């Protein structure tokens, strides 16, 4: 993983104080359920995907599934982060 940038997968929390949260944060919360290998959360009647900034091409952000398919990054075993060499 030398030379790779560490980036977290986050989504916006709309329950209580608005802030960015990870799948780990959502798993501790009683308002939602993290599903699909920590790639999205079912919360407050809606689905939110965990994303991270993406600097490859013209994409502003990437989901866990996007990074899983990309050759420039390596998703951590906990599926909370990606190690990416694409600036």
Which residue segment(s) compose the domain that 64 sits in? 5-84
Q: How many domains does the chain have?
A: 1
If pLDDT is split at 50, 70 and 90, which confidence band does 58 have?
confident
What burial class does residue 49 get, using C-beta atoms within 10 Å of its C-beta: 0-12 exposed, 13-18 middle, 19+ buried?
Answer: middle
Residue 2 C-alpha from the chain's centroid? 21
Question: pLDDT by residue (tens digit) across 34-57?
Answer: 999 999 999 988 999 999 999 887
Q: How far is residue 10's CA from residue 16's CA, in Å, rounded to a whole number?
A: 17
pTM, rounded to two decimals: 0.89
């Amino acid at each position: 993983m030398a030379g790779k940038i560490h980036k977290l997968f986050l989504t916006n929390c709309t329950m209580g104080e608005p802030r960015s949260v990870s799948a780990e944060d959502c798993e501790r919360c009683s308002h939602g359920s993290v599903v699909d290998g920590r790639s999205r959360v079912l919360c407050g009647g809606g689905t939110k995907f965990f994303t991270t900034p993406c600097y490859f091409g013209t994409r502003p952000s990437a989901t866990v599934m996007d990074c899983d398919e990309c050759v420039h990054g390596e998703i951590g075993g906990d599926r909370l982060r990606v190690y990416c060499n694409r600036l």
